[in-house]
Amino acid sequence: MVNEQAVVEIRAVISRMAERYAAMDADGVVATFVDDDIVLVGTGADEVRFGLAEARAQVERDISQADDLSMSIENLRVNVVGDTAFTYADMTFRGSAGGESFEIPVRATNGLIHTGDGWRIAQFHVSIAFGEQAEGESF
């Protein structure tokens, strides 16, 4: 049986994280994360972060390098199992950095846990499809 209330709350957390990124509010983004157990994986080779301090540093780096930033969320899917949840979404990061516009479509997965303060993101992972891999091919 689907816990509809949990799905609503989880969607709100993911949306709030995206809104806080767009507002360039590092504190607001980090507030959607669990404590020191957060795992954050971005698209850059050096973007693997463990713990709240490293995650905050990554968020602050992202924000400091952008002139403006937005994150759209499409096809958000939520699976809830007790006090844990898993999400998938097609996300697009848009904005500008150094006067150059960018649009980066990513595939995002999250692991969330229900805490005494509600749902929090425990893992956030974004990836970009490998452009050299032809459709219908596995390698």
User: Six-digit token pair at 109?
Assistant: 């997965």
Q: Where are the beta strands (DSSP E) in the chain?
A: 39-41, 48-50, 68-81, 84-97, 100-115, 118-127
Q: Average pLDDT by consecutive 10-residue portion of the chain (139 residues)? A: 85 96 96 93 95 96 94 94 95 94 96 94 93 82
pLDDT of residue 42: 94
Residue 97 falls inside a structural domain: yes
**Structural domain harbouring 58:** 4-127
Q: How many structural domains are present in the chain?
A: 1
Q: Please check whether residue 51 lies inside any domain of the structure.
A: yes
Q: What is the pLDDT of residue 2?
A: 67
Helical spans, DSSP H, in 1-139: 4-22, 26-30, 52-65
CATH classification of the domain holding 54: 3.10.450.50
Supply the pTM of this predicted model. 0.90
- 56 lies in a domain? yes
Q: Look at residue 132 and tell me if it is in a domain.
A: no
User: In this structure, is residue 139 part of a structural domain?
Assistant: no
pLDDT recorded at residue 136:
85
- pLDDT for position 139: 82
Residue 134 counted as domain residue: no
